[in-house]
Structure 1
Amino acid sequence: MRRGIRLTVDSAGTVTAAAPGAAPEPGDLVLAGVVFPAAANAHSHAFHRVLRGRTHTAGDFWSWREQMYAAAGSLTPELYEQLATAVFAEMVVSGYTSVAEFHYVHHAPDGSPYPEHGMETALARAAVAAGIRLTLLDTCYLAGGFGSGGSGVPLEPRQQRFGDADADAWLDRFASLQAAVAASFDPEQVSLGAALHSVRAVPEAALARIAGRLPAGIPLHIHLSEQPQENAGCLAATGLTPTGLLHRHGLLSRRLSAVHATHLTDADLALLGEAGATAVFCPTTEADLADGLGRAAELRNAGVALALGSDQHAVVDPWQEMRALEYGERLRTGKRGTFTPAELHFAASDAGAAAQGRAAPGLEPGKTCDLMAVNPHSVRTAGSDPGQLALTATAADVTAVVVGGRLRAENGRHATLGDPAVLLRAALAAVDSASPIPEGTRRR
């Protein structure tokens, strides 16, 4: 643990020099507490924040999904921009400075397109307003489930707004969106990545087409083996596990991030490790949805990078995600200390940034000056060894968040947007007024 580091940052927000033991100079931004690289949120569905506090008491993933569809059905570009701005502001004050937004609410509820990529640019504007770096993962979603002979079941009416006509239509729309984003947004602020929703939502023939046409170097994410039912359906339809199916079509590579990766075979582990892929764990969401415990240590040992995401935002707190990754392994294996605090911070920061195709945050020259400071003397952290704050701190202990060398949040308040709770209350009230979710589950 080093003390009194003075960082020099260039106009791009990159650290150019680090001087330990230096005194602050006039005009310097001084961060109090213990400073860490900021967190990079490797998996987010911003609109799922609507469900926090009213979907946790019963059911399973599939019953939860019904409520998620209802929330998705209420969104317009204007409403989504308001909601996402609030959600992204909540992320920033909690210590996140970048986010991979796994986005599939593309069109109007009847499936007709919005002009000029209305939903996508709404998310981009929300990120700019919140000052968070956005990797917009435009998601291919073509089918409502596995069909016979490698085909997919047609989308249900409530899924129409997620879909495109076929793989080529999605690829064409992706290319158009790529040009629109490049023309309107700073790539350090907003960049474009790709996602396949899941193998149950992208038929095998479409996987082959996408593998051949998706531009090289684009980050590619997918929900992978989150549920045993997905594995069983894939085996029945293709004779392969979801991981094996991706391997068949050359989609396993270092650019791939497998989200959840909960129910993997030994062969799946080996394939992901050989590819140098990333597994994005979302421990608080996986616990809330009773998904199960993934084989985190075995993935790491196989050569798979581990990153962390907040997914459905039942919790927006990188510290709790770090802690839950280690605690999940303790519950699964009966052993403590599978992941060191340094490994937990790497998963929350470096690996999450790499999954977005971004440079890692940190305090060393060449790193992006994205930082979070934490109070080591709070009721939660008092007495903690600074090196073990990953196991005691929460987002409530974050005293400052810096993005690209600029202060973006301090003591729970966003520097330009104020208290995210105020934004969230307004956004959630607007969603509730438009939402078809049954009255008995609405927020009061």
Structure 2
Amino acid sequence: MQVTYWLEHAWIDPAVESGVVVEVAADGRISAVRTGVEAPPPGATALRGLTVPGLANAHSHAFHRALRSHVQVGSGTFWTWRDTMYSYADRLTPDTYHALARAVYAEMALTGITTVGEFHYLHHAPGGTRYADPNAMGEALIAAAAEAGIRITLLDTAYVSSAIGDKHSGKAPDEHQQRFSDGTTEAWAERASLLKDRDHAKIGAAVHSVRAVPAGQLSTVAEWAQSRDAALHVHLSEQVAENEACLAAHGCTPTQLLAEHGVLGERTVGVHNTHMTDEDIALLGNSRTGTCMCPTTERDLADGIGPAVALQKAGSPLSLGSDSHAVIDLFEEARAMELNERLRTQTRGHWTAAALLRAATVDGHAALGWDDAGRIETGNFADLVTVALDSVRTAGPVAGLGAEIAVFAASGADVKHTVVGGKHVVRDGRHELVGDVAEALASSIGALRA
């Protein structure tokens, strides 16, 4: 059944058009786009405000949402934050993870996110005990995304050691990390192969980090992803300590180690890429390996500001993620990438608003393997996000309207409508499928903290 939307204003890269009709075919893809239509045609659903393509959250750890505000007591470090994170991970079961993730993904939909990349390493029961279904936790996430009305790329993550060791083995996982580990990457690949794509979900792969996957096992993960033409992500040089440990063990940086073992490439994305050498930047750019920046988490954990400008200039496509969900707002992530660079360099204008919006839309979707999403054009999925133009943040003249109002003025709270594959998921600021998302979050997080 065909659905028609009339967009009062729409960002159709690179410009904003007014009076845009989007026709959606039964498969959820855009079948036609017409501009200059002054009023909604009969039967069309009007989306008043500025509509942009659906946003892609390229890096998520859904269970970290339970940490918001709870880890802000005192100062601490990344490593003390990690200890608290482990304590929450220990409490999750497939059922409680499903409830939490469903609420988190609904919160994402409320802010205009239509696709999430879930960096998933919480595979087994506490202590490493296997569930009857070895992918029970991953399946819980896939089901949660469907019920929240968004797409997911489940980046099933190899995690077999707690610290860098020699080429073939690392330090054994500690008591908290045992549920992350399959023992070897061969066992990881066997389990991950049981997961299957479906209409709203793709299965990708991830190397948790060079700390968590010994050098001699990296190629197993890379080859698994390559054989499936699947997305492959990796936490990369997030911490100075990671670089120092890699140099001590292997005589090279983490980026150089990944290059040596065939991990880099066009379907690979390095997450954070914070502490890079010039050679690292060249390796990522020349291989077309992507970069996912997560500015709100990077600033929350005091990780540092990565060389995003240099990486993009070298040829590394940029995407954005909310990572630990200290904030879930892709407009803020896009804005923060530019503003961080302004603080670091004391100059302005490193990216146009359009370039930042591309990182949050089409390039983010490409990083997750959804090459047919992120644009308002024929053949793409009909993913539409409408930002109010009359909030206290966005109110002002419409003349000269561009991507700037979304990136530099709006917040996720200004999203009025989210349409995923032609289906209205958020209507007038309310989630059509989950209902009261705040109540769902309070219930699921409260159960974990009890």
Are 2:56 and 2:360, in contact at CA under 8 Å, matched by a contact in 1? yes
- Match of 2:47, SS state, is coil
- Deviations 1:217-249, CA, capped at 9 Å, x for gaps: 110000000000000001111111110001001
Structure 1 unaligned residues grouped into runs of 5+? 434-444
Which amino acid in 2 is paired with 1:398? V
Counterpart of 2:430 in structure 1 is 413
Counterpart of 1:256 in structure 2 is 268
- Deviations 1:36-90, CA, capped at 9 Å, x for gaps: 1121000000000000011124111111101000010000000000000000000
- Pair 1:171-2:186 in alignment: no
Q: Tell me the distance in 2 between the aligned counterparts of 1:145 and 1:226.
A: 15
Matches within 5 A, 1:284-303: 284-303=296-315
How far off is 1:432 after superposition?
A: 1.4
Matches within 5 A, 1:7-406: 7-22=22-37, 23-56=39-72, 57-116=74-133, 117-177=135-195, 181-182=196-197, 187-214=198-225, 215-358=227-370, 359-383=372-396, 386-387=401-402, 388-389=404-405, 390-406=407-423
Q: Tell me the distance in 1 between the aligned counterparts of 2:296 and 2:236.
A: 17
How far off is 1:301 after superposition?
A: 0.5
How far off is 1:375 after superposition?
A: 1.1
Are 2:234 and 2:270, in contact at CA under 8 Å, matched by a contact in 1? yes
Which amino acid in 2 is paired with 1:30? A
Are 1:93 and 1:410, in contact at CA under 8 Å, matched by a contact in 2? no
- Match of 1:247, SS state, is helix
Q: Tell me the distance in 2 between the aligned counterparts of 1:16 and 1:315.
A: 35
| CA distance 1:171–1:397, shift in 2 (3 Å) | same
Q: Tell me the distance in 1 between the aligned counterparts of 2:294 and 2:82.
A: 17
How far off is 1:9 after superposition?
A: 1.1
Are 2:60 and 2:321, in contact at CA under 8 Å, matched by a contact in 1? yes
Identity level (%): 47
How far off is 1:417 after superposition?
A: 1.1
- Deviations 1:207-226, CA, capped at 9 Å, x for gaps: 13333444241100000000
Which amino acid in 2 is paired with 1:137? L
Which amino acid in 2 is paired with 1:330? R
- Match of 1:157, SS state, is coil
Q: Tell me the distance in 2 between the aligned counterparts of 1:396 and 1:25.
A: 29
| CA distance 1:77–1:127, shift in 2 (3 Å) | same
How far off is 1:149 after superposition?
A: 4.8
Q: Tell me the distance in 2 between the aligned counterparts of 1:154 and 1:261.
A: 25
- Match of 1:32, SS state, is strand
Are 1:412 and 1:419, in contact at CA under 8 Å, matched by a contact in 2? no
Counterpart of 1:437 in structure 2 is none
257-266 vs 407-416, which moves further: 407-416
Are 2:160 and 2:213, in contact at CA under 8 Å, matched by a contact in 1? yes
Give the TM-score, by structure 2 length. Answer: 0.93
How far off is 1:362 after superposition?
A: 2.5
Q: Tell me the distance in 2 between the aligned counterparts of 1:294 and 1:282.
A: 10
Q: Tell me the distance in 2 between the aligned counterparts of 1:161 and 1:201.
A: 13
Q: Tell me the distance in 2 between the aligned counterparts of 1:411 and 1:330.
A: 35
How far off is 1:376 after superposition?
A: 1.5
- Match of 1:43, SS state, is strand
Q: Tell me the distance in 1 between the aligned counterparts of 2:357 and 2:222.
A: 33
Q: Tell me the distance in 2 between the aligned counterparts of 1:72 and 1:396.
A: 29
Are 1:285 and 1:311, in contact at CA under 8 Å, matched by a contact in 2? yes
Are 2:206 and 2:221, in contact at CA under 8 Å, matched by a contact in 1? no
- Match of 1:4, SS state, is strand
Are 1:376 and 1:386, in contact at CA under 8 Å, matched by a contact in 2? no
Are 1:104 and 1:139, in contact at CA under 8 Å, matched by a contact in 2? yes
How large is the RMSD of aligned CA atoms in angstroms? 1.2
Q: Tell me the distance in 2 between the aligned counterparts of 1:299 and 1:213.
A: 26
Structure 2 unaligned residues grouped into runs of 5+? 1-15
103-112 vs 203-212, which moves further: 203-212
Are 1:41 and 1:348, in contact at CA under 8 Å, matched by a contact in 2? yes
- Match of 1:33, SS state, is strand
354-363 vs 146-155, which moves further: 146-155
